[in-house]
């Protein structure tokens, strides 16, 4: 660790950015800026639950483009953020994790060609918003099957992340780093999240890369919001805030 050439970094990501969450995302960004964190990776859903495309919703394109101009990164985050029902209940059961419901695992069991087609549509939606081609793809709920991972590589993305690692899709290298993430669906989950992340902030404080993942509903809960912002503030005492795209560039240069 002593001679690790990687800069000590904090990457804050905001998941599920779409026309439906635009206002809350802006509120989160305003609070992050006040806390000293000037850049974040914004995980954008092109057609959130089939409720309207980013490039066809008045005002969204201009808003997200302005955030990108401020130094925030736009990352492709699924296409619909919704998994079609397959009727395979055993699989459905497997998808129910601590933080997500089965219905969010859009890229878990997509075949390669279907995944590739959806990724290309997502890239097109970004380009129609003027955002350019995203370098990062992060699967909804971090659930990325092997065929879909291959499709992400074929589509030309530079990196992806899972809950416990960042993957350089060109070299295949992996950097282990457990993302902090909160679960707010029920009171007991919020309490468990506060305790779990308190421990995780301590246990991950030495690694080169600290990842904090925020979901828009987190901001409805004052205790969660306070813990996240306190964590960001503490991390910035010894780390530089970067986007995933920026960090990946450093990681490659250090290799
Ligand atoms: Zn998501």
The model's pLDDT over 6-17, given as tens digits with 9 standing for 90+, comes to 889 999 999 999
211 CA distance to ligand 1 middle (Å)? 15
Stated pTM of the model: 0.92
Is the pLDDT at 117 greater than 70? The verdict is yes
1 CA distance to ligand 1 middle (Å)? 32
77 CA distance to ligand 1 middle (Å)? 7
103 CA distance to ligand 1 middle (Å)? 11
Q: What are the C-alpha distances in Å from 65 to residues 28, 42, 70? A: 17, 11, 9
15 CA distance to ligand 1 middle (Å)? 5
Q: pLDDT tens digit string along 16-56? A: 999 999 999 999 999 999 999 999 999 999 999 999 999 99
pLDDT of residue 3: 46
> Which band of pLDDT confidence, cut at 50, 70 and 90, is reported for residue 2?
very low
Q: pLDDT tens digit string along 215-242? A: 999 999 999 999 999 999 999 999 999 9
Q: Across residues 102-111, what is the average pLDDT?
A: 85
2 CA distance to ligand 1 middle (Å)? 35
104 CA distance to ligand 1 middle (Å)? 7
Bridge partners of 42? Answer: 14, 74
% of the chain beyond a pLDDT of 70? 90
Q: Are 123 and 155 within 8 A, CB to CB?
A: yes
Nearest 10 degrees: CA dihedral of 196, 164, 209, 11? -80
> What percent of the chain is helix, strand and coil (3-state, nearest 5)?
45, 15, 40
> Which band of pLDDT confidence, cut at 50, 70 and 90, is reported for residue 103?
confident
Q: In terms of Cα–Cα distance, which of 159, 164, 20 is closest to 97?
A: 164
Is the pLDDT at 96 greater than 70? The verdict is no
Q: What are the C-alpha distances in Å from 91 to residues 80, 82, 84, 86? A: 19, 15, 12, 9
Domains of the chain: 9-254 (3.20.20.370)
233 CA distance to ligand 1 middle (Å)? 24
206 CA distance to ligand 1 middle (Å)? 27
- For the chain, give the mean pLDDT: 90
Is the pLDDT at 95 greater than 60? The verdict is no
């Amino acid at each position: 660790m002593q001679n690790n050439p990687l800069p000590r970094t904090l990457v804050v990501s905001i998941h599920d950015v779409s026309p439906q969450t635009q206002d809350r995302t802006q509120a989160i960004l305003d609070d992050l800026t006040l806390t000293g964190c000037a850049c974040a990776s914004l995980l954008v859903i092109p057609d959130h639950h089939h409720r309207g495309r980013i490039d066809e919703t008045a005002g969204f394109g201009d808003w997200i483009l302005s955030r990108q101009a401020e130094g925030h990164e736009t990352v492709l985050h699924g296409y619909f953020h919704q998994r079609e029902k397959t009727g395979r209940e055993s699989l459905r059961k497997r998808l129910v994790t601590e933080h997500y419901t089965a219905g969010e695992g859009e890229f878990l069991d997509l075949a390669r060609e279907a995944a590739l087609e959806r990724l290309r549509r997502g890239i097109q939606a970004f380009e129609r918003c003027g955002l350019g081609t995203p370098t990062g793809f992060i699967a909804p709920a971090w659930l990325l099957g092997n065929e879909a991972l291959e499709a992400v590589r074929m589509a030309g993305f530079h990196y992806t992340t899972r809950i416990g690692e960042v993957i350089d899709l060109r070299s295949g290298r992996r950097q282990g780093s457990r993302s902090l993430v909160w679960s707010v669906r029920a009171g007991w989950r919020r309490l468990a999240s506060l305790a779990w992340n308190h421990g995780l902030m301590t246990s991950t404080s030495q690694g080169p890369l600290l990842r904090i993942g925020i979901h828009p509903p987190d901001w409805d809960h004052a205790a969660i919001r306070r813990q996240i912002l306190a964590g960001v503030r503490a991390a910035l005492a010894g780390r530089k805030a970067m986007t995933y795209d920026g960090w990946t560039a450093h990681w490659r240069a250090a290799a």
